[in-house]
Amino acid sequence: MELFYGAMKSRNPDASWRRQQSFLKVFVSFSFDDIAALIAGPIRDQLANLGTPIGFNDLLMSNKRALVSTSHFIFVNLS
């Protein structure tokens, strides 16, 4: 969502959108499903309790593989 929002806010949204689509073709997009939510919720809570909260959008930008890792990994990669 953030990438697409940025493209729409650019001076040339169509060109930005096309460049993004070309760049993103090589990546796999993971869905944020119920299992990911069950994993992400406790991690987000743990980070908040440690005084290092991350927002919901940061969780959406991470993928299931990152969420299965440690909360430190997520925080470092999203900060």
Q: pLDDT of 27-36, one tens digit each?
A: 777 777 888 7
Residue carrying the six token digits 């991350």: 54
Q: Are 31 and 21 in contact, with CB atoms under 8 Å apart? A: no
Residue 74, judged by CB atoms within 10 A of its CB (0-12, 13-18, 19+), counts as buried
What is the residue extent of each domain of the chain?
Answer: 1-30, 31-79
Q: Are 53 and 44 in contact, with CB atoms under 8 Å apart? A: yes
Find, among 6, 27, 2, the residue nearest to 15 by Cα. 6
Q: What is the pTM of this model?
A: 0.49
Confidence of residue 62 (pLDDT cuts 50, 70, 90): low
